[in-house]
Structure 1
Amino acid sequence: MRSRLPTVADEADNPAAPARFWAGLLGREAVEDAGGVLLPGGEDPPRPAVRTGPRRPAGWARTGMHLHLTSTDLDDQRHTVAATSTSDSAPRRRTSS
């Protein structure tokens, strides 16, 4: 029996910026569509899709998300950390005005 992997969804004021970040970090291509930007998932190797869409209006329930990235060895881990800290598209926490 096959199982379907979920789609990880995120919201942003500018969906293209975090989508570029995740596409670069995960080595995937970003596809823009009416719902925002999608990084398609796959079955070989299994990986969930990642979708970034426009931020919903105030009043919608929001939940937090925490993702874990894996690495094959110490050099791979160092490369991943360096990529996240030098990316111009890295997600930034919104600050209150």
Structure 2
Amino acid sequence: MTARLHALTFDANDPVGLARFWGEVLGRESVDGGLTLLPDDEPGVRLRFVATEEKKVGQGRIHFDLTSASDDAMQQTVARALELGGQHIDIGQTPDDGHVVLADPEGNEFCVIEPGNNFLADTGFIGAINCDGSQQVGYFWSEALGWPLVWDQDEETAIQSPRGGSKVTWSGPPLMPRHGRDRMRFELVADGDQRAEVDRLVALGAARGADVGDGSVAMTDPDGNEFAVIAAP
């Protein structure tokens, strides 16, 4: 038994506005009153936006790497993001780096990757969901989702669905400091028995969190990253 990666949840001060930004940048259809963006292809992951009064503090532990088919396409993605309220930011990149580092209107970092990146050649527009995390947590998520490792070198790991789509990557140590609740979180769907799936994830190294009362089970992975498990509709 495995769980499916169903959604990536964003905490947002203006969830409708942030969903609109990402819908325009990614060219995705919105549902649920504009708070959920559907995948642009299969396989893919939904993006969900939920309201919070907490302001973003520090660098995020998850960011997107967006792919580019050409130099012109890269420039168009950057220009579109800036037009919609994004901004250039400095997270330590050098002038020799070929990618462009941006933030969305609420400060969530993302990178627009230059064309010709071989690592992201077999992915979609969201080439990678790039996570701060250890080698061990990459192994955990490989087992949790049933996705094979496609990179495991120098304590950096990456997994990808056997059907393709975005890769999920972990950059290895040192890990970044935490600043309260994770701003972006994975949401898994248990296709079978939800309790049995939670027990399986605990056996793999996850920990169960407090019951939030909405039918989902709050959990943390071996690095302490928050995620949720919901029952299949």
Taking structure 2 as the reference length, the TM-score comes to 0.32
Shift of 1:4: 4.1
1:47-89 per-residue CA deviation (whole Å, 9 max, x = no partner) reads 21111111177xxxxx632111011111110100001111047
How far apart are 1:25 and its partner, in Å? 0.6
Amino acid corresponding to residue 65 of structure 2 in structure 1 = H
Residue in structure 2 matched with residue 79 of structure 1 by the alignment: 76
Instruction: Choose the corresponding residue for 2:106, options 67, 89, 92.
Output: 92
Q: What are the ranges of 5 or more consecutive residues in structure 1 without an aligned counterpart? A: 58-62
Structure whose alpha-carbon radius of gyration is higher: 2
Task: Tell me the matched-pair count.
Answer: 83
The residue type equivalent to 1:7 in the other structure is: A
* CA RMSD, Structure 1 to Structure 2 (Å): 2.7
Q: Specify whether residues 4 and 71 from structure 1 end up closer, same or farther in structure 2 by C-alpha distance, changes over 3 A only.
A: farther
Deviation at 1:5, TM superposition (A): 4.2
Match of 2:67?
70
| Greater mean alpha carbon deviation, residues 84-93 or residues 24-33 | 84-93
Give CA deviations for 1:3-58 in whole Å, capped at 9, x if unaligned. Answer: 9444111011110011000000111111125xx71001241xx321111111177x
Quote the residue 2:13 is aligned against.
Answer: 13
Q: Which runs of 5+ in 2 are unaligned?
A: 55-59, 87-103, 109-233
TM-score, normalised to structure 1, is 0.70
- Measured in 1, the distance between the counterparts of 2:29 and 2:65 equals 20
Cα distance, 1:92 vs structure 2: 2.9
Identical counterparts, % of pairs: 33
More strand by share: 2
* Rounded Cα–Cα distance in structure 1 between residues aligned with 2:27 and 2:21: 10
